[in-house]
Amino acid sequence: MDEAFPVRIRQGVKPSYQNQQLKVRPAATPNMTVIVSGGICYIDQHDTGGQGAYVCANDADVTLTVQPAGGAGQYRKDTVVASVYDAEYAGSANEWRLEVIQGPYAASAGATVRGTLPPNAQILADIALGPSQTSVSAANITDVRQFTVGSGGIVPVSSSADLARPHPGQLRYRMDTDTWVYGKTDGTTATLLDASLRARKTGDTPRANTTSVASDPHLVLPVAAGAIYELVGVFYITSASTVPDFQCGLNGPASSDGFWSLIGNPNTATSDSDVARLTATTINGGNRSYGIPTTSTVYGLQLAGMLEVGGTAGNLTVDWAQATTSGSSTVLKKYSWIRAVRVA
């Protein structure tokens, strides 16, 4: 009979709603303590190896003391860990505990390193301490939890701590970049594409006596840094007058690039048959005007485009106003919508 091997998952913290399991935070009034939230973690046995994993459950907040900071010119990096001590394999203690491992002093913050951690430990957070520091604030705490899920599950990770050798098809969610990535057969990682962002208007928005464009309150899409999106949508416009017409532009984060265009009536239109595809306009490149040739008629403008986001994430907005100032409102109607489909 072939020898059977257990299915193993990697060591780490069980993910949770709002990402709070075993999260380290400062005291409500910062002092030389930190608080570890309730949660569950799995810790591999490293004393001898090959003996499985420990399951550690913390059912309430635990307050841990941070040792006093050093004097002038002394910096330190302390580490909050969940540790397992098993006398069957090493030492005399039989327990698991949450604890702060003090790091050695250094002459600068950049030279600090972690102290010697217990063999069976899951790192939860690093604490940066400066000379004569008397309290620990949120700015001093770096969350370095590693998460784990059951075999075949989706692992939440940060992009800086992603898996070095994912198996083919292994799916992870990168929390800091809000992207999905998967393992390829050659051992590399690729982004899961065709992730769509959608926004629709849930009510009418009228604007009168203004040609100064402003972002629509509903048509906003949060786009990722370095991503490329195909843009589609329909904008429904109307007015009780043929005077004000409609102007709009598409604007993304700094350094965004791309083109967009709308099929609709030119602002010189005098009848419903005057439909034209206007010249393409660049993202962040200004506005185009469109006509409302018949009063109280709802017109649809069909959007197509491509957006390439630079190194900064942010919002793609539809910015609009009247093309000609009028007391009769131009209305961007309920059910207008825009969708961005990520392709790279």
**pLDDT at 3 (0 to 100):** 41
pLDDT in tens, 41-66: 999 988 886 678 899 999 999 999 99
pLDDT band at residue 195 using 50, 70 and 90 as cut-offs = low
**pLDDT at 1 (0 to 100):** 34
**pLDDT at 193 (0 to 100):** 66
| Mean predicted confidence (pLDDT) in 194-200 | 83
| Mean predicted confidence (pLDDT) in 263-269 | 87
pLDDT in tens, 89-101: 888 999 999 999 9
211 vs 275 pLDDT, higher one: 211
> Residue for token digits 């046995």?
45
Percent of the chain with pLDDT over 90: 67
**pLDDT at 165 (0 to 100):** 78
Asked which of 108-117, 182-191, 283-292 is least confident by mean pLDDT, the reply is: 182-191
3-state secondary structure the chain: CCCCCCCCCCCEECCCHHHCCCCEEECCCCCCEEEECCEEEEEECCCCCCCCEEEEEECCCEEEECCCCCCCCCEEEEEEEEEEEECCCCCCCEEEEEEEECCCCECCHHHCCCCCCCCCEEEEEEEEECCCCCCCCHHHEEECCCECCCCCCCEEECHHHCCCCCCCCCEEEECCCCEEEEECCCCCEEECCCCEEEEECCCCEEECCCCCCEEEEEEEEEECCCCEEEEEEEEEEEECCCCCCEEEEEECCCCCEEEEEEEECECCCCCCCCCEECCCEECCCCCEEECCCCCCCCEEEEEEEEEECCCCCEEEEEEEECCCCCCCCEEECCCCEEEEEECC
* Burial (0-12, 13-18, 19+ Cβ within 10 Å), 284: middle
Asked which of 28-32, 88-92, 110-114 is least confident by mean pLDDT, the reply is: 88-92
pLDDT in tens, 63-75: 999 999 999 999 9
Would you say residue 21 has pLDDT above 50? yes
- Which residues, other chains included, contact 234 with Cβ-Cβ below 8 Å and sequence gap of 6+? 300, 301, 302, 303, 336, 337
pTM over 0.85: no
pLDDT band at residue 5 using 50, 70 and 90 as cut-offs = very low
**pLDDT at 4 (0 to 100):** 41
Instruction: Specify whether the backbone of 49 is left (phi greater than 0), alpha (psi in -120 to 50) or beta.
Output: left
Q: Is the dihedral of CA 284, 286, 292, 296 positive or negative?
A: positive
Q: How many CB atoms lie within 10 A of CB 140?
A: 19
